[in-house]
Amino acid sequence: MGKRKILTDKDPALHKVCRPVEKFDGRLHKLLDDMAETLEEANGVGLAAPQVGILRRVVVVDTGEGILELVNPTMLETAGEQTGMEGCLSVPGKYGLVTRPYIAKVRAQDRYGDWFEAEGEELIARCFCHELDHLDGIVYTQVMERFLTDEELEEMG
């Protein structure tokens, strides 16, 4: 395992459409392991492969229930709406106000290529949307209403 460098949104890799994973081999497993370690060290909620410079459709998520690996994820269904604070490891020190679905259901492959579905609400739904956007070259600052001020962040705790 190894920690990888997290690129900022100034890097062109963050603005490219990623290609699907075709080989579920040791190289993919190493990438997933490295991404999990990088996410945990950064204390983040989600990390997409382009954030570590790999233009493949791979995401790791940890909303407090352990690492969830999503390979070639697609959005199946969304419902409701939530507007709240959102941040990104590639936009350090800043948070924006972003409206997302309240519930999101994705279909993805695991590290061995088996398909599964995962559904979540609130933070999990926000995270699924945020990370899937990364795979299409979209950073939250492109879909946010505005950045939050320091005063607002203090109030939100």
Assess whether 131 carries a catalytic annotation.
Answer: yes
Question: How far, CA to CA in Å, does 78 sit from each of 48, 75, 120, 131, 137?
Answer: 20, 8, 10, 15, 20
- Is residue 61 at the binding interface for Zn ion, with CB under 5 A as the rule? no
In the region spanning residues 89 to 128, those forming contacts with Zn ion, defined by CB under 5 A, are none
At 47, which amino acid appears? Answer: L
CB of 22 or CB of 142, closer to Zn ion: 142
Using CB under 5 A, which of 36, 71, 88, 125 touches Zn ion? 88
**What would the two tokens of residue 2 be?**
């190894």
Distance CA 54, CA 63 (A): 22
The minimum distance between CB 89 and Zn ion, in angstroms, equals 6
Choose between 21 and 88: whose C-beta lies nearer to Zn ion. 88
Q: Where are the alpha helices (DSSP H) in the chain?
A: 26-42, 123-135, 150-156
Least gap, CB of 26 to Zn ion (angstroms):
26
> Which parts of this chain interact with Zn ion (CB under 5 A)?
88
Q: Which residues are catalytic?
A: 131
